[in-house]
Amino acid sequence: MTDRPMRDPADEDLTRVDSLAHEIFAGIANKWALLIVNVLGKDTLRFTELHTRIDGISHKMLTQTLRHLERDGLVDRFVHAQIPPRVDYHLTTAGQELRATVNGICGWTRRHLDHVEAARNRFDAGQ
């Protein structure tokens, strides 16, 4: 938004709010984006399929997040010229690479359900 040209890529840092790196990171580090990347996996899914597979996401957020991922080159969008419309989504190579590490977080979550639950009980017990 503000004009801030000629930024040296070397000083791009995730922890600098005004850096490109931080901005890209922030756009990905939210549950809907990560879930979409995870659910897409290696598949090619159409809009409605994603919508049904990702419980709780609104029509609007799905569209919006998919646009964002497409713009950042994580998702390819294929529009079939037919009625009714059919639009397919697929992870790009870069998207696939991200998916690999996102799956790590998903896996971690599933493996630590009990750990977290126990920690919460302990924490809540001591106020």
59's contact among DNA, a copy of itself, none, with CB below 5 to 8 A by partner kind, is DNA
Q: Which is nearer to a copy of itself, 51 or 88 (CB)?
A: 51
Question: Could you give the C-alpha distances from 67 to 70, 74, 82, 117, in angstroms and in order?
Answer: 5, 10, 21, 35
Instruction: Tell me the C-alpha distance between 63 and 102, whole Å.
Output: 20
Number of residues that bind a copy of itself (CB under 8 A): 53
**Which range, of 40-48, 58-66, 81-89, 96-104, touches a copy of itself by CB under 8 A?**
96-104
Site string for a copy of itself, 29-58 (x = CB under 8 A): xxx--xx--xx-------------xxxx--
C-alpha triplet 11, 13, 18: angle, nearest 5°: 90
85's contact among a copy of itself, DNA, none, with CB below 5 to 8 A by partner kind, is DNA
Hey, what are 23's tokens? 């901005």
